[in-house]
Amino acid sequence: MHSPLFSNSASIPPPLTLEQKRNFIQVARGKQPADLVFTHCQLVNVFTNEIYAADVAVRYGRIAGIGPVGSFQGKQTIDVQGQYLVPGLVEAHTHIEDALLVPGEFARALAPHGTTTCVSDPHEIANVAGVPGLRWMLAAAENIPLRMLFTLPSCVPASPYESAGAELVAEDLLELAHDPRIASVGEVMNYPGVLDGDEVLLDMIDLGRPGRATPLGLAVDGHAPELVGLDLCGYVAAGVQSDHESVSAEEALQKARLGMWLWIREGSTRNLDALLPVVLQQQPERAGFVADDRTPGDLLYEGDLDYIIRQAVQRGLDPVQAIKMSSLHPASYFGFKDRGAIAPGYLADLLVVPDLYDFRPRQVYVGEPWWPKMANLCLMLLRCPRIGAKRSNRQLICALSLWSVCVCLVSMVPLA
């Protein structure tokens, strides 16, 4: 087994220049050398539900060409020896704060399990520190080993009966919404308020409207446990598009029938056993897996989406469908056009997996190989939380960061 390979992954990579695009096209055609070629892959295609032999050429951290074995020349070639090449996994709904970790450490826990894009709802820190807390979270998520994206917390506080450290309205979030790392409007938890026509909540949902916060609009995440029937219709009519709180197959099916994206949660709260039958029987197009909350122990000993894929496959789900529900489906929900599959122009977020029925990524790539970017990785680990850190505390944090660098370097030595 080899340790995962990381890179300095920008959450939103910069566009290619004209010259780079011209070169990229020639690499895709096999007429110019790639940075990296994966050879002898069994490519898992989540567009066509196929698995077939292929080589994959990577340039500028993106997938350029896909062709038969021997199609491409590369400055570096990785022979995956017939193992599966799988798109990097996309976590559609989680909360970094619930894992009691800062973004960099959370990313280090997730990335070895194959999660290469993670959408986190920072509503915990928003409840404590408001917009400055959100800005800190965005800053702390730069230069980490996966692509960390965020939602705009829609319910701060979660209900009028709570005493939170901040109260947010849509106007407070408009400026943040311009950050390209904002993926959606965060989970709309106060569904009774939505059904009662609460002005603040409806204005929050309106942040998803095309032209309000962003030109193309944002997805609006839901949170409506046990909401069914006509009240569910009202919630969907308000503009909420997904839900991860279903506890029964009947409830999940109702939500899927109304066009909601059905996120099956298997984290600290576990709904897979109850909801998987809907996927096995109705095969909804809009379905996927999320963790929501995970403890560091869960992340360490079970994993992230890889764990849910293993559990779903054990319960009878086709492995390619399970992968698709953890890659292409969440990417489609958020409108990502550059991840969630293996295709020309997509980010080279790739997993090498020996066995699809016991899904454990052996190698994880986020963009480019880690070796040219080691300096940046070390810098990332030296970054310390800056909210009110006193000078004396910074010395302690720097000492801990240096210790992290040592642990990281040791962990990157191939194990066999």
List of residues contacting Zn ion (CB under 5 A): 292
Q: Compute the least distance from the CB of residue 267 to Zn ion, in Å.
A: 9
> Radius of gyration (Cα) for the chain, nearest Å?
21
Tokens for 282? 């109705």
Q: Which residue is nearest to Zn ion (CB)?
A: 292
Residue closer to Zn ion by CB (options 172, 292) is: 292
Q: Which is nearest to 291 in space by CA: 275, 304, 280, 306?
A: 304
Residue closer to Zn ion by CB (options 123, 339) is: 123
Tokens for 128? 């404590």
Strand ranges for 372-414 from DSSP E: none
**Beta partners for residue 363, in sequence order:** 352
Residue 54 backbone dihedrals phi, psi, to 5 degrees: -165, 160
Residue closer to Zn ion by CB (options 266, 292) is: 292
Residue closer to Zn ion by CB (options 92, 253) is: 92
**Beta partners for residue 65, in sequence order:** 57
Let me know the angle formed at the C-alpha of 147 by 319 and 270, rounded to the nearest 5 degrees. 45
Q: Compute the least distance from the CB of residue 74 to Zn ion, in Å.
A: 41
Residue 110 neighbours by CB under 8 Å, 6+ apart: 91, 118, 146, 299, 304
Q: Compute the least distance from the CB of residue 244 to Zn ion, in Å.
A: 7
- One-letter amino acid at 165 equals G
Q: Compute the least distance from the CB of residue 93 to Zn ion, in Å.
A: 6
Q: Compute the least distance from the CB of residue 357 to Zn ion, in Å.
A: 30
Residue closer to Zn ion by CB (options 193, 361) is: 193
Q: How many residues can be counted in the chain?
A: 416
Question: Residue 79: helix, strand or coil by DSSP?
Answer: strand
Q: Which is nearest to 64 in space by CA: 342, 327, 339?
A: 342
Q: Compute the least distance from the CB of residue 191 to Zn ion, in Å.
A: 13
Q: Compute the least distance from the CB of residue 5 to Zn ion, in Å.
A: 30
Q: Between β-strands 242-243 and 50-59, what pairing exists: parallel, antiparallel or unpaired? A: unpaired
Residue closer to Zn ion by CB (options 221, 302) is: 221
Residue closer to Zn ion by CB (options 292, 306) is: 292
Compute the distance between CA of residue 106 and CA of residue 305 in angstroms, rounded to an integer: 14
